[in-house]
Amino acid sequence: MYRCQAAYPPAPPGWQDEEFEYYFDLSSIPAFAEVLAAGQEVTSIVLQLQPDAEFRWRAIQVSNPGSLLGLRFRSPDGTYLSEDYEPMENFSGFPGAAAGIPGGAPVALEPEVVCPAFSVVLLDVKNLQ
């Protein structure tokens, strides 16, 4: 049976979905400016979500995955989205990712992760060398 990836149910009556993106990047996460030694990890990097509405986390996209870093995300309730660190290119949705070619489509999360307003998403980063 085929089910379209990222086909989510409509918003409840009286509500509407609006596209919204959060970013982990150098401007908001100083830890990304650090050079990690082989095997070194930085854990519990916080991404604070906005206080006005819940966020339905439906995808992850790494725009420039050309590195040996692994990522591990935690939802607001503390659940890890993977058992171990995943190479960055796994989140790019682009066949050229391993070659460090930027771009690619978001990788859908199924099921979506419902994040309460003003909660946090945590990111762990590890040098996989």
Looking at this protein, which amino acid is placed at residue 38? A
Amino acid, res. 54: E
Provide the whole-model pTM. Answer: 0.84
Domain ranges of the chain: 39-127
Per-residue pLDDT of the chain (129 residues; tens, 9 = 90+): 445 565 788 888 998 889 999 988 777 667 677 788 999 999 999 999 999 999 999 999 887 666 788 999 999 999 999 999 999 888 877 666 555 566 667 888 888 999 999 999 999 999 999
Q: Which has the closest alpha carbon to 74: 123, 24, 32, 41?
A: 123
Distance of CA 21 to the CA centre of its chain: 10
Q: Are strands 107-115 and 55-60 parallel, antiparallel or unpaired?
A: antiparallel
